[in-house]
Amino acid sequence: MAAHGAPDASAEAVIVARGLTKRFGDLVAVDHLDLRVRRAEVYGFLGPNGCGKSTTIRMVCGLLTPTEGTATVLGHELPADAELVKRRIGYMTQKFSLYGDLSVAENLEFLAAVYGIRGARARQRIGELFEQYHLGGIRRQMAGTLSGGQRQRLALAGAVMHKPELLLLDEPTSAVDPQSRRDFWEALFQLADAGTSLLVSTHYMDEAERCHRLAILDRGRLVADGTPHELLAKLPGMTLRIECEHPAGLLQPLRDDPHVLGVAQIGASLRVLTDRKTGDTGWLEESLRRMGANASVEPTEPNLEDVFVAVTRKQGEPR
């Protein structure tokens, strides 16, 4: 799934973070992070659980105070202007955070009141959201009885009730099916096309590929940043596919090879990321022969998962 058209590279920044750091006792959750998100851009945060994505988003929202560093959001300095920032942003968490014992309509009516939208303005805005996120047919249904995809659409409608300039989403698709994820991302790009800036954390590679730009976090540090195309171009080696009869038996021997950065079984074949840029595969074919394997080796197109493996690989740790 390719990203929609990218925003102008000269567009103003809506988030600028420099040296952003958050410590919880001895734990460094975010470690001197530099970040720049442009207006009307879909900026992705990719990384494993515990890498600092949620903590960074909460600092940018003004919900957490940084231990070190600075952040400017929509021209406001944090944490000094946190209350001003909160009025101009939307925030959608991984966990469904609306009221299960209220109907869809009652949840949106409550949020409209929270944002100071009342009377005819509230009815008009809620009507727009019913139509935009296909909620009209379930307006009287209790939120606690909704499917995962329906809850997701309701949560997004609530997050954009006040038409925020910046929308921050913390792994918003972790509990929904693939079709709902696809529909959700189409809704995000409609918001971006209308001028909303989005910062979205995810651990799904197909979602990361859709972002205009992407940051990869690992153990609190920014280890890669750029468009998906730029990140693929910086891949330190090449990706190979091995066809053989017993791929599982080759996993550990290949992981022990000093030129192999990562290896994974994909069906009846193996996908191998190496640190060698050259198109020559003879070294690997010879290595496989020494293992007693009857195998064929050919180059294959790299993907963001290869980039992720390369930039998050821990030196000196088992592969």
Condensed to tens digits (0 to 9), the pLDDT of residues 75-114 reads: 999 989 988 998 899 999 877 778 889 999 999 999 999 9
pLDDT in tens, 164-216: 999 999 988 877 788 888 889 999 999 999 999 999 998 888 889 999 999 99
pLDDT value of residue 10:
55
Tell me the average pLDDT of the chain. 89
pLDDT in tens, 267-318: 889 999 998 877 778 888 888 888 888 888 998 998 998 898 888 875 434 4
pLDDT in tens, 30-54: 999 999 999 999 999 998 888 899 9
pLDDT value of residue 166:
96
22 membership: H or E segment, kind and range: strand 13-24
Average pLDDT on 6-14 reads 70
For residue 7, cis peptide bond before it (omega within 30 degrees of 0): no
Given a cut of 60, whether residue 28 has pLDDT beyond it is yes
Residue range(s) occupied by CATH 3.30.70.920 in the chain: 236-301
Residue range(s) occupied by CATH 3.40.50.300 in the chain: 13-232
Given a cut of 90, whether residue 3 has pLDDT beyond it is no
pLDDT value of residue 103:
96
Q: How far is 54 from 69, CA to CA, in rounded Å? A: 17
pLDDT value of residue 9:
56
What spatial distance separates the first Cα and last Cα of the chain, rounded to whole Å?
29
* Residues whose CB falls within 8 Å of the CB of residue 66, separated by 6 or more in sequence, listed in order: 20, 21, 22, 30, 59, 78, 79
Tell me the pLDDT band of 8, cut-offs 50, 70 and 90: low
| 236-301 CATH pick, 1.10.150.170, 3.40.50.150, 3.30.70.920, 3.60.120.10 | 3.30.70.920
Given a cut of 90, whether residue 159 has pLDDT beyond it is yes
Q: How far is 286 from 190, CA to CA, in rounded Å? A: 51
Q: What is the pTM for the complete model shown?
A: 0.87
The topology (CATH level 3) of 13-232 is Rossmann fold (3.40.50)
Q: 308: closest CA among 180, 214, 243, 212?
A: 214
* Order of strands, sheet of 260-266, starting from the edge strand that comes earlier in the sequence: 260-266, 269-274, 238-244, 295-299
Tell me the pLDDT band of 7, cut-offs 50, 70 and 90: low
pLDDT value of residue 5:
56
Residue type, 207: E
26-63 b/e (C-beta count within 10 Å ≥ 16 → b): eebbbbebebebbbbbbbbbbbeeebbbbbbbbbbbbe
